Structure 1
């Protein structure tokens, strides 16, 4: 914290000094000569790398026709206020820029080099975030997704930690054994709550109370969900994680560190429940099937006692390194039966190609298997003919505007503990020569021409269309105007 504050003081002083010098039309060399400083030292002051002593500040104030108090004040002029707002937020303190290969000093130097332009840019970003109601927590989750994408969603240190734990445990893992490990090895108390006992927590999967080391677990969770919850708690202990969220299933966090640590503990849980030494050959055998067999995929998920989301997320950890499938994505859509809207609640893109993306106030393509499977499940539930087994479908999605093709495996089922909510979990893999040779049943999967959103889609006629292609028409109109101007 002290380091951040000192950097903030140096940078603000440097920006104010540079702005004042430029407003008065004084060159850097001129100010250096008037204040009795070297040009290189003054340059470092303006970049926020150095903070001068009191006598040097007085000399600079005199040379600029200003005063000491004005220069050392932390108050910025109106054009630089967005930078002050950024400094006063906790984003610069909590985002570990080194994870992205960025030194904090590089970011500070960028701010110092062009403060007015950087301020305008930051002001624009803040305005966009406010217009769309983006909270700081959403920024944290976006940063985590970017970090996972940079690492191909694979973290070898966590794989090794999981394998070491399994070697030491020497016992098959299940919800029962994991709960015993929590209570006997890590001195947890595990209690179960109901909607009647805690009505406000009915949509929450678990709550940890550190003062009593008590884990409250929603009794409506499935065995697989309980196993994952216990595995994640063990992950916090094995990885010696202290800064963590205490409530699950809530998209809020106090810091980026909590978001990152929650992901690390969750990754660990998936790795001990579905060890790669077992999962890789199992996936290889599934990919080698000559025909698309949805029951084979459901049996594979059942073999590891996992939920569809746990399994597909875990598979995404291994696709690139072990199967050479480097272009992939994972999506989770939530849907209330009878509703016409679909909510993209989780997304991860390990691809630079055209894929589904979160749309702002637009309707997702109703041809995506991730949505058609939810509609199918809702129809079965409403008709009273659903047998309780998750639906499993596959589709080769070909994007109409780019020709990009993805093999998409999608599974839909109810999503406890939230009543009435269904979710689809989809794993998409770009169709290329490697995928064609790797996944033998690809040729047996039905194909569909899809768009991104209805508002942007040129597919016609389209019986599934939920909105007119207004964005596409505006683009086409703009293109016609450009062409007409070009011909003048």
Structure 2
């Protein structure tokens, strides 16, 4: 694979820096020898500038190295651990600047690290290969980290939503309608909206929508979408256009992921759509009413869904935006589970603010605890479907984790999904029960809320009398055997 121009600059800068330091030269000293300014030399070493041929000749003479060796992409033994990273163009793909990291600084750290750090990098690369870590998984994990860094609240997008509302929906009554969004897309952005555009595309049956870009873009939608899903699809498309987001994916759900910027822009458009459907000022007042009730009142959440004509997932996402920012409840997680039967439950989306909370995804093929509210509500949903009831279910639970002091208040919502579009899904928010949370959530100790002892997975769980167990606790048993073996070795050693 060819190395990107950006990484060519980084390699050149690293080699110049390494040679300068080996000769014990300061920037000022090298500047005096070459006639190049210290600031320009600094830019070269950071990988921001690549000098012209005559300046490279001057540098090679001052550093006592041949021109060919200086411009060669061949790395020295000391820089060898960086080779595979640079060959993969990792620093081009990863948006390090979003996390406050300059690629040159990271490479500088690695280039001065001991050999063990180089071995560590190689180990990470090998692990990613062995576990089949795909690029899109890496991007989605990075997105979660980016959200968590900002407590999942982005004031700039909130301002853009307010500006959009003032410009296009100032006189509109709330909640907004499909027709209002459609009119804006047609008038302002020359869209052609085809609500049944995917009706006869058998291969695209799992998709919710597809956008065909052109001077007059076409938005093809799955005719099985609910009204709320249709509005969200149009609102998200408005987000792409109003925020001028590019590059972007053109299908929902994902078919392929081409770059982190594409993943980030998809998230920004979704954030825009949620904030547009659930205005901050209004929804905050509704959440205050919900949180200050002395008893858990599921009807308030169901009324919010009805008032704003939104999906359970939109409401839960909006809560993850506003609970940390407005209410100071920052220790929380968001989960989305999906299932097509009563045995297989997949964690398809997760986010953890202020630390990695339980539960969280596992790379191993294990069975998530069947006592979680997120999974129990899906089982109840299947029973509900047999009664032709398509209403939203709400479940609350206090989860206490085995061998842990952590306890969470879990609120789960689930609604039957159209089988032509996707699997049934539940969305949940878990709030760590802490002094701050207790002050804000008045119903946290409502005696009606069931308390359950839970664990991460069946395979790691010591609760042998669990009636919900879906798999033997072989990982836990192996760990216990290993502990017993270590204890026996320790006793014999001391004797």
Q: 8 Å contact 2:401–2:455 — kept in the other structure?
A: yes
Which residue of structure 2 lines up, in the alignment, with residue 182 of structure 1?
A: 185
Which residue of structure 2 lines up, in the alignment, with residue 249 of structure 1?
A: 253
Q: 8 Å contact 1:370–1:424 — kept in the other structure?
A: yes
SS of the aligned residue for 1:463 comes to coil
SS of the aligned residue for 1:281 comes to helix
Which residue of structure 1 lines up, in the alignment, with residue 163 of structure 2?
A: 164
Which residue of structure 2 lines up, in the alignment, with residue 423 of structure 1?
A: 425
Q: 8 Å contact 2:205–2:421 — kept in the other structure?
A: no
Alignment partners' CA distance in 1, 2:264 and 2:367? 31
Quick check: 1:261 aligned with 2:265?
yes
Q: How far apart are residue 3 of structure 1 and its match?
A: 4.3
Alignment partners' CA distance in 2, 1:285 and 1:237? 35
Which residue of structure 1 lines up, in the alignment, with residue 393 of structure 2?
A: 391
Q: How far apart are residue 398 of structure 1 and its match?
A: 0.8
**Matches for 1:397-416 after TM superposition, within 5 Å:** 397-416=399-418
Shift of the 392–436 alpha-carbon distance from structure 1 to 2, 3 Å rule, reads: same
Q: How far apart are residue 250 of structure 1 and its match?
A: 0.9
2:453 corresponds to which of 436, 442, 449: 449
Quick check: 1:225 aligned with 2:234?
no
SS of the aligned residue for 2:233 comes to helix
Quick check: 1:149 aligned with 2:151?
no
Q: How many residues align?
A: 465
Q: 8 Å contact 1:400–1:450 — kept in the other structure?
A: yes
State which drifts further: 361-370 or 457-466.
457-466
Quick check: 1:5 aligned with 2:4?
no
**Matches for 1:53-452 after TM superposition, within 5 Å:** 53-54=56-57, 57=60, 69=68, 72-76=71-75, 83-114=82-113, 116-168=115-167, 169-170=169-170, 171-172=172-173, 173-193=176-196, 196-211=199-214, 212-250=216-254, 252-338=256-342, 340-352=343-355, 354-359=357-362, 360-381=364-385, 384-416=386-418, 418-419=420-421, 421-442=423-444, 443=446, 444-452=448-456
Shift of the 464–76 alpha-carbon distance from structure 1 to 2, 3 Å rule, reads: same
Q: How far apart are residue 288 of structure 1 and its match?
A: 2.3
Q: 8 Å contact 2:46–2:105 — kept in the other structure?
A: no
SS of the aligned residue for 2:241 comes to helix
Shift of the 137–356 alpha-carbon distance from structure 1 to 2, 3 Å rule, reads: same
Alignment partners' CA distance in 1, 2:382 and 2:197? 26
Shift of the 177–436 alpha-carbon distance from structure 1 to 2, 3 Å rule, reads: same
Q: How far apart are residue 105 of structure 1 and its match?
A: 2.2
Q: How far apart are residue 95 of structure 1 and its match?
A: 2.5
Q: 8 Å contact 2:366–2:458 — kept in the other structure?
A: yes
Q: How far apart are residue 12 of structure 1 and its match?
A: 6.0
User: What residue ranges of structure 1 are gaps of 5+ in the alignment?
Assistant: 19-26
Shift of the 217–419 alpha-carbon distance from structure 1 to 2, 3 Å rule, reads: closer
Alignment partners' CA distance in 2, 1:81 and 1:215? 49
Q: How far apart are residue 130 of structure 1 and its match?
A: 1.4
Alignment partners' CA distance in 2, 1:418 and 1:84? 47
Q: How far apart are residue 48 of structure 1 and its match?
A: 4.9
Q: 8 Å contact 1:48–1:112 — kept in the other structure?
A: no
Alignment partners' CA distance in 2, 1:416 and 1:91? 40
Q: How far apart are residue 209 of structure 1 and its match?
A: 1.3
Q: How far apart are residue 195 of structure 1 and its match?
A: 5.6
After TM superposition, the score normalised by the length of structure 2 is 0.85
Q: How far apart are residue 221 of structure 1 and its match?
A: 0.9
1:383-408 Cα deviation digits (max 9, x unpaired): x2241112211111111111211111
Q: 8 Å contact 2:143–2:263 — kept in the other structure?
A: yes
Alignment partners' CA distance in 2, 1:345 and 1:287? 27
Shift of the 221–82 alpha-carbon distance from structure 1 to 2, 3 Å rule, reads: farther
Shift of the 101–416 alpha-carbon distance from structure 1 to 2, 3 Å rule, reads: farther
1:79-129 Cα deviation digits (max 9, x unpaired): 966633322334311332222122222112113213844442222112111
SS of the aligned residue for 2:236 comes to helix
Q: How far apart are residue 351 of structure 1 and its match?
A: 3.3
CA RMSD of aligned residues (A): 3.0
1:381-440 Cα deviation digits (max 9, x unpaired): 3xx224111221111111111121111111122334655611011011111223223223
Shift of the 420–74 alpha-carbon distance from structure 1 to 2, 3 Å rule, reads: closer
Q: 8 Å contact 2:371–2:452 — kept in the other structure?
A: yes
SS of the aligned residue for 2:251 comes to coil
Q: 8 Å contact 2:334–2:352 — kept in the other structure?
A: yes
Alignment partners' CA distance in 2, 1:354 and 1:196? 41
SS of the aligned residue for 1:53 comes to helix
Quick check: 1:476 aligned with 2:480?
yes
Q: How far apart are residue 7 of structure 1 and its match?
A: 1.6
User: What residue ranges of structure 2 are gaps of 5+ in the alignment?
Assistant: 35-40
Q: 8 Å contact 1:332–1:426 — kept in the other structure?
A: yes
Which residue of structure 2 lines up, in the alignment, with residue 22 of structure 1?
A: none
SS of the aligned residue for 1:348 comes to strand
Q: 8 Å contact 2:278–2:308 — kept in the other structure?
A: yes
After TM superposition, the score normalised by the length of structure 1 is 0.86
